[in-house]
């Protein structure tokens, strides 16, 4: 195993981060299915600071997916407050939420979710299109991002011509288009083999360390925990462990 494919050494000091960009307090989510009310999230509070690499971990049924949806503003909590930078997210209209998703959140999915009929370049441009970035600027930015993830030479290809790892790199490039406040990655290595998965993790790590990109990663893979500056472990809709210890207390 070469250096670049291995998990970075453990002794990297967890980064305390810059100013707070995400603040969740007492987030609860209840689903009403008929007469039965299911409490999925039972009061979750945490903060994420700029430049941190945060892992949200937990087994299935722990409320991980719901947490992801709320963080990604695809769903709203039943109660509690969610501040993204200075914006109180709960009060936004559907249209404003879409705009926030577009400008401030970079989505990365487990199954990449690239558009098969678009070229790599066009795929990377999609969030910028919704942000009304001019064609010329979009092109330049797409090239820059593709180079950043090591795919500058494949702009004209289609996703079907790429390997899984390459597809996820394209998805990472796409998520960065509008300089989002944070990247929200949902099991980004779930569909990849171990080696390719590590490559993607290293890409995240590099972006985090070199460009100070805030990353929130939702995963159940415990092997990646050494990467995180902060771990939020969910079980039965509650935070059961935080890492480093006392990170939220300060």
Residues that bind another protein (CB under 8 A): 69, 72, 74-75, 94-95, 98-99, 101-103, 107, 109, 111, 113, 115, 117-118, 126-127, 129-132, 174, 178
Q: Which is nearer to another protein, 132 or 153 (CB)?
A: 132
Rounded Cα distance between 152 and 177, Å, is 15
Closest separation in Å from C-beta 162 to another protein: 17
Q: Which is nearer to another protein, 74 or 223 (CB)?
A: 74
Closest separation in Å from C-beta 216 to another protein: 14
Closest separation in Å from C-beta 130 to another protein: 4
Closest separation in Å from C-beta 76 to another protein: 11
Q: Which is nearer to another protein, 99 or 221 (CB)?
A: 99
Q: Compute the radius of gyration of the chain from its Cα atoms.
A: 18
Closest separation in Å from C-beta 122 to another protein: 8
Cis peptide before 244 (omega within 30 of 0): yes
Q: Which is nearer to another protein, 39 or 99 (CB)?
A: 99
Closest separation in Å from C-beta 70 to another protein: 10
In three state form, how does the secondary structure of the chain look?
A: CCHHHCCCCCCCCCCCCCCEEEEEEEEEEEEEECCEEEEEEEEEEEEEECCCEEEEECCCCCCHHHHHHHHCCCCCCCEEEEEECCEEHHHCCHHHHHHHHHHHEEEECCCCCCCCCCCHHHHHHHHHHHCCCCHHHHHHHHHHHHHHCCCHHHCCCCHHHCCHHHHHHHHHHHHCCCCCCEEEEECCCCCCCHHHHHHHHHHHHHHHHHHCCEEEEEECCHHHHHHCCEEEEEECCEEEEEECCCCCCC
Q: Which is nearer to another protein, 107 or 228 (CB)?
A: 107
Q: Which is nearer to another protein, 118 or 143 (CB)?
A: 118
Q: Which is nearer to another protein, 17 or 106 (CB)?
A: 106
Rounded Cα distance between 207 and 172, Å, is 10
Closest separation in Å from C-beta 29 to another protein: 12
């Amino acid at each position: 195993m070469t250096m670049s494919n291995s998990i970075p050494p453990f002794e990297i000091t967890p980064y305390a981060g810059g100013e707070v960009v995400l603040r969740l307090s007492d987030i609860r989510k209840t689903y009403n299915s008929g007469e039965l009310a299911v409490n999925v999230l039972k009061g979750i509070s945490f903060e994420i600071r700029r430049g941190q690499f945060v892992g949200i971990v937990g087994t299935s049924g722990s409320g991980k997916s719901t947490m992801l949806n709320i963080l990604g503003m695809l769903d709203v909590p039943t109660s509690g407050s969610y501040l993204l930078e200075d914006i109180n997210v709960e009060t936004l209209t559907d249209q404003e939420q879409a705009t926030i998703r577009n400008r401030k959140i970079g989505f990365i999915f487990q199954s990449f979710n690239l558009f098969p009929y678009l070229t790599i370049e066009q795929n990377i441009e999609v969030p910028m299109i919704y942000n009304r970035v001019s064609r010329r600027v979009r092109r330049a930015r797409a090239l820059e991002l593709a180079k950043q993830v090591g795919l500058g030479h494949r702009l004209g290809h289609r996703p079907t011509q790429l390997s899984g790892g390459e597809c996820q790199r394209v998805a990472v490039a796409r998520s960065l288009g509008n300089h989002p406040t944070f990247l929200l990655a949902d099991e980004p290595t779930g569909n990849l083999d171990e080696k390719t998965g590590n490559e993607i993790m290293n890409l995240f790590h590099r972006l985090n360390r070199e460009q100070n990109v805030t990353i929130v990663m939702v995963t159940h893979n415990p092997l990646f925990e050494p990467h995180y500056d902060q771990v939020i472990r969910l079980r039965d809709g509650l935070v059961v462990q935080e890492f480093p210890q006392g990170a939220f207390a300060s």
